Amino acid sequence: MTRRNSYELSPGKGPSMWRTLEDKNTDPDELKRLAEEEKPGGFVTDLLSPKTLVSRRSFVQGSSIAALAAGLQGCLRRPENEILPYSKAPEYLVPGIASHFATVTARGRDALGVVVTSHDGRPTKVEGNEQHTRSFGGTDVRAQAYVWDLYDPDRSQSPAQRRGNALVNSTDAAFDEALKGLVKKHEGDEGAGLRFLAPISNSPTFRRMRGQVLAKFPKAKFYTYSSIDDDNVREGARIAFGTTVYPAYDYAQSMVTVSLGADFLGNEPGSTVAGRQFAARRTITNPNAAMARLYVAESNYTVTGGMADHRMRLPSRDIERFTRLLAAELGGRGVQGLASLSKSLDSTDREGIDTAFLRAVADELVANSGKSIVVAGSGQPPVVHALAFAMNQALGNANKTVRLSPVIDESDTPSREGIVALAAEQASLTTLFILGGNPVYDAPADVKFAELLGREGLTSVHLSSHRNETSERSSWHVPMAHELETWGDQQALDGAVSVQQPLIAPLYGGRSAVELLATIAGEKAANGHDIVKATHAEAMDKTTSALLLYGFNPQGLSEAQVWRAGLHTGVLFKPGVGQGGVQENAFAAALASAKGRSTKLGKGNFEVTFEPDPALFDGTHANNLWALELPSPMTKLVWDNAALLSPGTAKALGARNGQMLRLSKGEGRVEVPAWIVPGHADNSITLTLGWGRTAAGRYGNGKGFDVGAIRTSDGMSFTDGVAVEVLGEKYNLVQTQTHDRMEGRPIAIDATLDEYKAEPDFASYRSVDPVSTPPLWKQQDYSEGHKWGMVIDLNGCTGCNACVMACQAENNIPTVGKIEVERGREMHWLRIDRYFVGDDENDPEIAVQPVTCQQCEEAPCENVCPVNATVHSPEGLNDMAYNRCVGTRYCANNCPYKVRRFNYLDWHGHLDDKFGWYKDFPESRKLQFNPNVTVRMRGVMEKCTYCVQRIQAGKIAAKREGRFLKDGDIKSACQQACPTRAIAFGDLNDPKSTVAKWADVNRNYKLLAEIGTRPRTSFLARIRNPNPKLKGNG
Amino acid sequence: MSSYEAPIKELGETYLLPEGTTANDVTEAIAGVTENPAPRGWWLLFLLSLSILGVMGAALAYLFYQGVGVWGNNAPVYWAWDITNFVWWIGIGHAGTLISAILFLFRQKWRTSINRFAEAMTVFAVLCAGLFPAIHTGRPWFDYYLFPIPNQMDMWPNFKSPLMWDVFAVSTYLTISVIFWYVGLIPDFATLRDRSKNLVRKRTYGFFALGWRGAHRHWQVYERAYLIFAGISTPLVLSVHSVVSFDFATSVVPGWHTTIFPPYFVAGAVFSGFALVMTLMLICRTVFKLENIVTIKHLDLMNKFMLGTGLLVGYAYAMEFFIAWYSANPYEQWVFFHNRLGFGMLDENGNWGPLWWAYYAMVFCNVVVPQIFWFKRARTSVPIMFIASILINIGMWFERFVIIVTSTYRDFLPSSWGMFHPTGIDVLTYLGTFGLFFTLFLLFVRWIPMIAIAEVKGTLPGAHPDLHALGAHDEEPGAAAVAPVPAE
């Protein structure tokens, strides 16, 4: 092919610059031929119409598409099956314009509907799906971290086979061959010795495939195991209802919520929707409005505890006593259904439990019958759950605030029993498929799963995204595709079924558990899409009212149309909630059988509670840089976990922050550094799971401490009888916030409801905005056009970190590593400040406050910048011109909010190891970058922009459509992610916008207003709603 | 301030230079340093300085390669040693101009023995100072954005930024200091030229002497120019450090946002400048045996000056606390009572501000140590004044560190409070500037008359027109005839 004649300049003809095809040649056929040369297969014909031909732009467009296609043929990834864009979809893959696809991500047995942004075929950002009833548009931290996991450079890239003591790379073909052999082998013995171990699944197709496999191999068995399980909920429901059901709460209907160790705004499944609902009854704008009240009994300080109006700190095991006594109190008040139990309950030991507190809670619950919730934590024993069900039933909450999930999976084994039973089968096992998870790392210590895998004669196949601890001990490792790479379906706890759509072809050729099972079962449908679709074919055919079709009339739709609509909205089948009655007689036995109070806690006998890590969860995200560097909501620790204990316990032990503790129980012992958490229950230690991985990947290996050695099958959520020894050595734990007190300054302002009633404008009195003393110079007039502003409602903010992670994902914010965080160089544009409030360091309250650039109208940063790199936009944004910034850092010094972040080193590039960093920046991670946000180089200052790229996109969209922007068109990343809708962003000049309304709410105040910065971001002071009968406690 | 025109014998005053010192003695002593082979001490010091300069080069190369993160600067302490060093060096650079210009205008003749020295120090100190704003930026290759250079982006610097004012103030100061220094050097260059014994020396000094022949007309023009430059330099002494103090004073940071800063900074600058002149002078005086030209009397006067400026600085420190208390501004009170004083305002955990020791180091060095100069024995004791001058220099460094770091590390929002720890590169960069300074300084003492020959001659007894009336010794008839025209 002769190359690019068209580029040659013809001397003396016309202008010598900006040549077009037309200059060279005006014959359309010749042009077509030239274009064909550029891109075999031809252009979109529009580009060749005479009208567009003449423009240089169209030529450059065309040739760059061609160049892209030629250059990127190997890496342009598109799913093979048709996937449907979300409702805002532009035409397919217009370069530079993002598409949005609805899909779903698993939360144990629950599911979270999400909408994923895709730039040119690369998923870059996850948002909540407003039409999914477990999200309503909000997300949690894990959903935001999710896209990083997809591009994790340490994901397994090929099957591997064990040879001797090492895993050796293999090929898909070799594995398929081996799989065939295994299937053939078990076809002979009907699956005797064939076992499957899978994490808790919420997938109808998984259930169907499981059925098919069992049909083919009747003697095979499926076991379920997840480190974070819901066994207690199931068992509690079995006691109460006689069947395995799951509760689905509606906090929006609850005026009084009592949490029995349930972190329902944090780690429990459904926390996203719980946050939405909970905030609905908390974010009042008028002192006389009804405000819900929250009581929490818990051991560790969780984000739910931080939102509590009254919090009782109790060791985890004492929550059962608390529950019994509460039920007894309710029974004593003649609440039907509990009266009969009250006698046996009342004999419970009351030590350490404030009777006045119990009575006040019971009074409130009775007064709010039918609009209250008693919710038990999934770590609590079944009897607590059973009693919680009973109390809800007795209080008339059933079917009002507490509904039962229609998800019933009787053939699923409980998690702990499952793994113990599997281990007990030892001798009869010949083939074991582990469909995800990492049992070698997280199985109970007494199961000794690694030994099980190492047994002679066992062929084990581990399907996993990473070559983790379990893969290293399996006979075969098979890469598992990410949720964003494969078809699947998921049913949420409220019954809504969503299809999991792939947005990208598997990066490393992995497969899903469903596909693997289909192969084993000999399913005809070759790919995930067909397998999933077949699961729902029958239901879709019926086009019953069970279909959730927003904006579609289900009547007369074909199966294909229903499928399309389901993909489009992200919900295929509508949620349906079941009902059930508590079987009262079942309780007596359960209560009697529950073990009584054991030995007193204290020296030599400590309680240990195991909690999923707020960011790493059970270790799933252990190699996720964003998660590793996400400050833990309460401790603000990054890059490590710690043994959390109360100041009293630390004093008794003589342990200081960072001092190593040796916790031992039975044979197991772990060494973890201590960290003192004011408000933690005494004599109780909380350990978070998911850390101390040895085969997580380059980032996660060796970070934190594995606490699995003292976690046994009889104490998966908490255990007592743990001996604690304080060791001499200290470990360096790093926080993003080292000072916990407000020092009497008006920062995160709060008041009780009574104070609010007495003085509705209290917040602006405490943080005075000197509006009556204008500056010496003429002020900018922002009354015309847009005036962007943000209001953050501290009543809604739980401090869950979803916004922090969303900001990181949206704005290409780098992570910096533990050593650099210790130097105070973390880069989060949005941080959540957490203060302890109150005089009692053993039992303080919490105040959280998200702080990001306040977009001051009189910005102190702007007039000190010597090079005009940070300047004001006409709409009032404090803009950063990165390529003008020389990095004097003067602006950051002069920022009273300290929200500016400086690229001290080249966080994205090569750095020396002595900076605690890694030599390369993996190619796969570059795929995650948001192309609309500059990736900043070293030496440049950066900060929150109010997501200016989204503002521009929204304005452009409105302009193209010839309409005015309306509230909600533009959402900042933090606002969109927030599960409690605590962040309002929009145009302050639009009186109908939420942000303008919130700006006028009486509890609005501006942070550090007295400096005269006139910030655009303001806060709504937090209102606490303590029970007036419980003075001094809350 | 009484002028030191001539000693009043009745008051027991004597001449600055020992009686019997001839103009030729002065020329020989000073010009000789540049003509004789360098003493071994010079070579040792020079090689040492050059090595330290090399270390600085390495530290800077590493800094440019990796980024500012190799220093200990962090959030919230975005400025630390870099700007501390900048202000410290700039402060040191103040003594030169003060001694040359202001004391000249006040006809303080005792300045003649030290002014050249101090001016050279000024120039080198300003060079060292100017280095820091240039290298402390995240992207030093774009430093030219700070200058108002017409460009295709049609972008000007932000003239509202005090950092911008710094650029002008420091560059003006450097320019004027160099010119002023050079103008004063012209007659002395001519002396060296005239004494040259080889062609290279002759040509070189001849070039810089600008054809000086010692004509009356030359002297007339020279004196006028010198006076004009002294006049121009004088406001600069006050303006440069005032402008530098605006970096802090115009900000909103508690502990920076203080109206007392301009005079406070100027007093501190003169204080530290005198201290460094003293340190260096004592060394050179010993190494080059100039005790007869820089006499104990000079040193005594300088010590008095340091005592005075030290008291001014101490007053400023006290005033800051008064204002912090009087303002009732909780943030400012926190900075002064907690961050600096340590106690007085414990945080809710009962802790002192962790950098309290820096404040005490500063007060000890800058306020307590100079009090020793109330005693004449201390003022005239070389070891005591040497130690005191070094302590004052350390104290003045701490003053800047205290202002910069202990204001920012705990400011408005406790959530953002941090701590500062310097890195090895911080230390090497700072030490390295001593390499730069002393390398230049040693080259200066070796090749340029380190004491103003012509001016010193003017203070000789024989230079006085009323020599006889004042009762000078008649045995030295030649003395009056020599000055102020250079010998030969």
Give the tokens for residue B45. Answer: 């010091």
Using one digit for the tens of pLDDT, what is the confidence trace for A1012-1026?
888 999 999 999 999
Least confidently predicted of A79-93, A364-378, A394-408, A730-744: A79-93
**A910 touching B, CB under 8 A?**
no
Least confidently predicted of A74-88, B16-30, B309-323: A74-88
Enumerate the residues of chain A whose CB falls inside 8 A of the CB of residue B247.
Answer: 890
In angstroms, the Cα distances linking B446 to A804, A1023, B30, B284 are 61, 75, 10, 11
**Is there a domain that residue A281 lies in?**
yes
- Kindly tell me if the per-residue pLDDT of A321 is higher than 70: yes
Inter-residue contact B188 to B155 (CB < 8 Å): no
Q: What is the DSSP string of A869-933?
A: -EEE-TTS-EEE-GGG-----HHHHT-TT---EE--S-TTS---GGGT--S---HHHHTTS-TTS
Beta-bridge partners for A789: A986
Q: What confidence score (pLDDT) does residue A461 get? A: 93
Inter-residue contact A493 to A182 (CB < 8 Å): no
Enumerate the residues of chain B whose CB falls inside 8 A of the CB of residue A742.
Answer: 414
Residue of B nearest to A889 (CA): B78
Enumerate the residues of chain B whose CB falls inside 8 A of the CB of residue A865.
Answer: 158, 161, 163
Give the tokens for residue B65. Answer: 């390669």
By the 10 Å C-beta count (0-12 exposed, 13-18 middle, 19+ buried), B444 is classed as buried
**Which residue bears the tokens 């002395």?**
B188
Q: What is the CATH number of the domain that holds A625?
A: 2.40.40.20
**Is there a domain that residue A237 lies in?**
no
In angstroms, the Cα distances linking A280 to A46, A249, A259 are 50, 14, 18
**Cβ distance of B138 and A940 shorter than 8 Å:** yes
Q: Which of A47, A71, A95 is the last residue of a domain?
A: A71
Sign of CA dihedral A872, A873, A876, A881: negative
A719 and A767 housed in the same domain? no
**Is there a domain that residue A354 lies in?**
yes
Average pLDDT value for residue range A206-218:
91
* Contacts A–B by Cβ distance under 8 A: 185
Least Cα separation, residue A826 to chain B (angstroms): 8
Q: Which residues 848-907 of A are in CB contact (within 8 Å) with B?
A: 849, 851, 860, 863-868, 884-890, 892-894, 896-898, 900-906
A894 and A826 housed in the same domain? yes
Q: Residue B312: CB partners within 8 Å, gap ≥ 6?
A: B263, B267, B271
- Kindly tell me if the per-residue pLDDT of A607 is higher than 60: yes
Domain region containing A417: 160-229+410-487+503-545
Show the DSSP H helices in A439-544 as ranges.
439-442, 449-453, 469-473, 513-521, 528-542
**Cβ distance of B68 and A825 shorter than 8 Å:** no
Q: Residue B270: CB partners within 8 Å, gap ≥ 6?
A: B94, B95, B98, B237, B305, B309
**A243 touching B, CB under 8 A?**
no
**Cβ distance of B138 and A939 shorter than 8 Å:** yes
Of the residues B78, B144, B155, B407, the best mutation for testing chain A's interface (the one with the most A CB atoms within 10 Å of its CB) is B78
Residue of A nearest to B132 (CA): A888
Q: What is the CATH number of the domain that holds A919?
A: 3.30.70.20
Segment (H or E) for A848: strand A845-851
Give the tokens for residue B461. Answer: 């007894």
**Is there a domain that residue A553 lies in?**
no
A883 and A990 housed in the same domain? yes
Nearest 5°: phi and psi at A478? -125, 130
A54 and A175 housed in the same domain? no
Using one digit for the tens of pLDDT, what is the confidence trace for B59-81?
999 999 888 989 999 989 999 99
- Kindly tell me if the per-residue pLDDT of A3 is higher than 50: no
**Is there a domain that residue A377 lies in?**
yes
A693 and A711 housed in the same domain? yes
- Kindly tell me if the per-residue pLDDT of A49 is higher than 50: no
Which residue type is seen at A119? Answer: H
Of the residues A886, A943, A1019, the best mutation for testing chain B's interface (the one with the most B CB atoms within 10 Å of its CB) is A886
Q: What is the DSSP string of A98-134?
A: -EEEEEEEEETTEEEEEEEEEETTEEEEEEE-TTSTT
Rounded Cα gap, residues B45 and A95, in angstroms: 66
- Please tell me the total count of domains within chain A: 5
- Kindly tell me if the per-residue pLDDT of A182 is higher than 50: yes
Cis peptide before B76 (omega within 30 of 0): yes
Going by their DSSP bridges, the two strands A497-500 and A488-491 should be labelled as: antiparallel
**Is there a domain that residue A615 lies in?**
yes
Show the DSSP H helices in A965-1012 as ranges.
973-977, 994-999
Least confidently predicted of A156-165, A205-214, A475-484, B346-355: B346-355
**Cβ distance of A939 and B139 shorter than 8 Å:** yes
A352 and A472 housed in the same domain? no
Enumerate the residues of chain A whose CB falls inside 8 A of the CB of residue B70.
Answer: 905
Least Cα separation, residue A77 to chain B (angstroms): 36
Neighbouring C-alpha atoms within 13 Å toward the C-beta of A967:
16
User: For chain B, what is the mean pLDDT?
Assistant: 85
A376 and A295 housed in the same domain? yes
Burial profile A856-875: b = 16 or more Cβ within 10 angstroms, e = fewer: bbbbbbbbbbbbbbbbbeeb
- Kindly tell me if the per-residue pLDDT of A576 is higher than 80: no
- Kindly tell me if the per-residue pLDDT of A40 is higher than 70: no
Going by their DSSP bridges, the two strands A941-942 and A247-249 should be labelled as: unpaired
Sheet containing A99-107: order of strands: A99-107, A110-119, A122-128
Using one digit for the tens of pLDDT, what is the confidence trace for A873-906?
999 899 999 999 999 999 999 999 999 999 998 8
**Is there a domain that residue A150 lies in?**
no
Q: Residue A631: CB partners within 8 Å, gap ≥ 6?
A: A637, A638, A735, A736, A737, A801, A804, A828, A831, A832
Q: What is the DSSP string of B73-110?
A: --SS--SSHHHHHHHHHHHHTHHHHIIIIIHHHTT-GG
A171 and A258 housed in the same domain? no
- Kindly tell me if the per-residue pLDDT of A12 is higher than 50: no
Q: What is the DSSP string of A374-391?
A: EEE-TTS-HHHHHHHHHH
Average pLDDT value for residue range A659-684:
92
**Which residue bears the tokens 């066992």?**
A458
Beta-bridge partners for A722: A606
Q: Which of B137, B251, B349 sits opposite A893 (nearest CB)?
A: B251
Using one digit for the tens of pLDDT, what is the confidence trace for B172-188?
999 998 998 999 999 99
Which residue type is seen at A998? Answer: W
Least confidently predicted of A15-19, A249-253, A705-709, B209-213: A15-19
Inter-residue contact A842 to A678 (CB < 8 Å): yes
- The torsion defined by the Cα of B54, B57, B63 and B68, in degrees rounded to 10, comes to 100
Q: Which of A868, A900, A902 sits opposite B138 (nearest CB)?
A: A902
Among residues A28, A525, A435, A57, the alpha carbon closest in space to that of A210 is found at A435
Q: What confidence score (pLDDT) does residue B18 get? A: 67
Using one digit for the tens of pLDDT, what is the confidence trace for B199-223?
999 999 999 999 999 899 999 999 8
Q: What confidence score (pLDDT) does residue A44 get? A: 41
Which residue type is seen at B375? Answer: F
A483 and A520 housed in the same domain? yes
Strands (DSSP E) found in B144-249: none
Q: What confidence score (pLDDT) does residue A649 get? A: 93
**Is there a domain that residue A795 lies in?**
yes
Give the tokens for residue B27. Answer: 């020329």
Inter-residue contact A716 to A729 (CB < 8 Å): no
Beta-bridge partners for A511: A480
A920 and A944 housed in the same domain? yes
Q: What is the CATH number of the domain that holds A257?
A: 3.40.228.10
- φ/ψ region of A938 (left if φ > 0, alpha if ψ in -120 to 50, else beta) reads beta
Inter-residue contact A159 to A175 (CB < 8 Å): yes
Enumerate the residues of chain B whose CB falls inside 8 A of the CB of residue A898.
Answer: 75-76, 411-413, 416
Show the DSSP H helices in A190-285 as ranges.
204-216, 231-241, 271-280
**Cβ distance of B347 and A743 shorter than 8 Å:** yes
Q: What is the DSSP string of A124-181?
A: EEEEE-TTSTTTTT---HHHHHHHHHHT-TTS--S-EEEETTEEEE--HHHHHHHHHH
How many other β-carbons are positioned within 10 Å of the β-carbon of residue B260?
A: 16
Q: Which of A404, A422, A438 is the last residue of a domain?
A: A404
Going by their DSSP bridges, the two strands A668-676 and A643-645 should be labelled as: parallel
Q: Which of A835, A904, A939 sits opposite B137 (nearest CB)?
A: A939
**Cβ distance of B418 and A939 shorter than 8 Å:** no
Topology (CATH level 3) of domain B9-482: Formate dehydrogenase/DMSO reductase fold (1.20.1630)
**Cβ distance of B412 and A737 shorter than 8 Å:** no
User: For chain A, what is the mean pLDDT?
Assistant: 84
**Cβ distance of B419 and A738 shorter than 8 Å:** yes
The share of chain A scoring above pLDDT 70, in percent, equals 84
Q: What confidence score (pLDDT) does residue A18 get? A: 37
A393 and A415 housed in the same domain? no
Q: How confident is the model at residue A351 (pLDDT cuts 50, 70, 90)?
A: confident
**Cβ distance of A898 and B411 shorter than 8 Å:** yes
How many other β-carbons are positioned within 10 Å of the β-carbon of residue A73?
A: 8
A820 and A764 housed in the same domain? yes
Inter-residue contact B174 to B130 (CB < 8 Å): yes
Q: Which of A887, A903, A905 sits opposite B137 (nearest CB)?
A: A887
Q: Which residues 220-239 of A are in CB contact (within 8 Å) with B?
A: none
Using one digit for the tens of pLDDT, what is the confidence trace for A414-468?
888 888 988 888 778 889 999 988 999 999 998 888 888 888 888 899 999 999 9
Q: What is the CATH number of the domain that holds A416?
A: 3.40.50.740
Least Cα separation, residue A869 to chain B (angstroms): 9
